[in-house]
Amino acid sequence: MVLWEQVEAAELDEMWSFVGNKGCQRWLWLAIDRKTRAVLAYVFGQRKDKVFMELKALLEPFGIKMFHTDDWGSYRRNIAPSQHTVGKKHTQAIERKNLTLRTRIKRLCRRTICFSKSVAMHDIVVGLVINILEFGWCFEKHFHG
């Protein structure tokens, strides 16, 4: 039984937010299917190669052939050049997804009075909203269907 289909291409990006104060940065790393624009995986952490590798490990089962990213170094260092395309024109869908998330989740806004006081609560709240927005129909079917 296959739980997911192979994904030809994915767009990857990272989004900055903070916990407590702007000195305590928290990054949301996100991957979407380029064709369907569905979220494939996401992780929270710092803007470091180690965190990107966690995201990449979550993406392995999809068999992604091509990754589209911005020019952040983690991508260049950890994706084979033959599988990697860099440029704004290739990441428009994920940038749109990031803007939608920033609009819906005030904790992701750069200028806001709504912020998390703990890393755990930040990750839980943002993760729950992403799961409800992206996969909510599964939740509703399972619990209300």
Q: Is the entire prediction scored with pTM above 0.85?
A: no
> Concatenated DSSP letters for 45-59?
E-SSHHHHHHHHHHH
pLDDT in tens, 77-90: 999 999 999 998 89
Question: Going by CATH, does the domain composed of 9-144 fall within 3.30.420.10?
Answer: yes
DSSP 143: H
Residue-level pLDDT at 56: 96
Query: Beta partners for 86?
Result: 69
C-alpha distances in Å from residue 8, one per residue of 5, 61, 107: 10, 12, 32
**Domain segments of the chain as ranges:** 9-144
Taking every pair of Cα atoms in the chain, the longest distance, rounded to a whole number of angstroms, is 46
